[in-house]
Structure 1
Amino acid sequence: MYGFGPMNMMWDRTYILIIIGMVLSMLASAYVSRTFKKYADVKTKKGYTGAQVAQMILDVNNIQNVAVQPIRGELNDNYNSATKILSLSEPVANVQSVSAIGVAAHECGHAVQDAVGYKPLIWRAALVPIANFGTQVSFPLIIAGLFFGKFLITAGIVCFSAALVFQLVTLPVEFNASARALRILNEQEILDQEEMSMARHVLFAAALTYVAAAFASVLQLLRLIMIYGDRRN
């Protein structure tokens, strides 16, 4: 028996699922950081910065309503479809490296998705408020259910599932953005074939972080379902 008291819920044997998820996420994060730093030391032959490549890709795709801006930090690059702002971190915006160009092109991939109405990107944007709400209330509901009734636990699991759906929808969005980025870099001959191979390594490493996060959430959901099922029995 797993038990379903307040302490047992936190320390029962199914906690191994959470540990596995945490380890995978940390390994993925360490791998992307190491890969980015490795190719951040490789200056591209044409000497473009990440910001220059981003603007080139936007121009080639006739995207005139997206602004490119530098931001402080590292590996926090992003594209905001609501504000039409493509933000590039300091190691990307003004650096002439394979890593910088790969990351900048990936974020431009999201801008292209937005411009062509890529459905998974639209679905992900619609899921943001639902996922945020689910993340905030799922565990408070589950804890409350320990004292006030199983229906609250069920509600908490459903809310957590909504957050998981967001992460699963994110996967094709990220993989598609990377595929678009690599195709554009190749077609526009921004990188040569050797540099393209390096850029693929950078984008593959970044994709692993999303896969690991989704897998960790699946394990978390499985744990909650296992514990709840044991309580019902």
Structure 2
Amino acid sequence: MSVIFDSSFIILILALIISLFAQHKINSTFNKYLQINSINGYTGAQVARMLLDYNGLYDIPVEIISGKLSDHYDPSNKVMRLSQDVFYGASIASIGVAAHETGHAIQHKENYVPLSLRNSIVPVVNLSSNLSWILFILGMFLGWSGLFRLGILLFTAVVLFQLITLPVEFDASRRALNILENKSILSNDELAGAKSVLSAAAMTYVAAALMAISQLLRLILISNRSRD
């Protein structure tokens, strides 16, 4: 039985290594292109405003938020929030990230199915992500396999959320690069830099999905072991 446990632990370690690499990749790539200003000199905030207006999203404000790479579009309040580096920065990285978040706003406007599905399960995921681990711990300490299996069932919602997130993020990046090219906001060389930043960011979402899947597989293996 130790082979099963060891194998499940190895799965988790590999996923952790990939996650750490992905985090290093986005930080290094973002910092690299944060130092390279675009020829047009637009800031991230200006690009976001231009692209939002171009798509008829005049009612969506662009606000500044603290933190690094904390940029996001809030579909509940219809607000785009950009970190200081992106909001004020005129770099390739700043413009790429701002365009990516605009991509999410456009998805919301068009009722992009994966985004709508992801937003609809957020309350369930928030509950299940916390409750699942409580059930895991109680099930192990009390020896109640039913609680452990219920925790696994709840954690499945977290895995589903991570998987749905992938097409949402990939599509937002695709939209961002297309509109930056079509509106001639970035040159071809600059566009390649923005693509590198967004590709590195996408890797973090892939890593998060792998981590969630690995955790789920490990928990299933442990649950099976406890029944043997």
**Aligned mate of 2:59, from 49, 55, 65:** 65
Check if 1:55 corresponds to 2:49. yes
Maintained 8 Å contact 1:3/1:231: no
> What's the secondary structure of 2:102's corresponding residue?
helix
- Aligned partners of 1:57, 1:110: CA distance in 2, in Å? 12
In structure 1, what is the equivalent of residue 75 of structure 2? Answer: 81
In structure 1, what is the equivalent of residue 113 of structure 2? Answer: 119
Over the aligned positions, Cα root-mean-square deviation in angstroms equals 1.3
Q: CA deviation at 1:55?
A: 0.3
In structure 2, what is the equivalent of residue 178 of structure 1? Answer: 173
State the AA in 2 paired with 1:124: R
- Aligned partners of 1:106, 1:3: CA distance in 2, in Å? 44
TM-score by length of 1: 0.94
- Aligned partners of 1:19, 1:138: CA distance in 2, in Å? 21
> What's the secondary structure of 2:40's corresponding residue?
coil
- Aligned partners of 1:171, 1:139: CA distance in 2, in Å? 24
In structure 2, what is the equivalent of residue 42 of structure 1? Answer: 36
1:105-184 matches, within 5 Å, as 105-146=99-140, 147-184=142-179
- Aligned partners of 1:40, 1:74: CA distance in 2, in Å? 12
Maintained 8 Å contact 1:2/1:230: no
- Aligned partners of 1:229, 1:37: CA distance in 2, in Å? 45
Maintained 8 Å contact 1:54/1:68: yes
> What's the secondary structure of 2:226's corresponding residue?
helix
- Aligned partners of 2:168, 2:207: CA distance in 1, in Å? 15
State the AA in 2 paired with 1:214: A
State the AA in 2 paired with 1:220: Q
Check if 1:96 corresponds to 2:90. yes
Check if 1:195 corresponds to 2:184. no
> What's the secondary structure of 2:41's corresponding residue?
coil
TM-score by length of 2: 0.96
Q: CA deviation at 1:27?
A: 0.8
State the AA in 2 paired with 1:38: K
Runs of at least 4 residues of structure 1 off by over 4 A?
A: none
> What's the secondary structure of 2:73's corresponding residue?
strand
- Aligned partners of 2:131, 2:161: CA distance in 1, in Å? 15
Maintained 8 Å contact 1:43/1:96: yes
**Could you list the per-position Cα deviations for residues 3-30 of structure 1 after superposition, in whole angstroms to 9, with x for gaps in the alignment?**
99xxxxxxx4232222222211111011
Percent identity between the two aligned chains = 43
Structure 1 gaps, min length 5: 5-11
**Could you list the per-position Cα deviations for residues 73-124 of structure 1 after superposition, in whole angstroms to 9, with x for gaps in the alignment?**
1100000001011000011001110000000000000000011111111111
State the AA in 2 paired with 1:42: I
- Aligned partners of 2:180, 2:19: CA distance in 1, in Å? 29
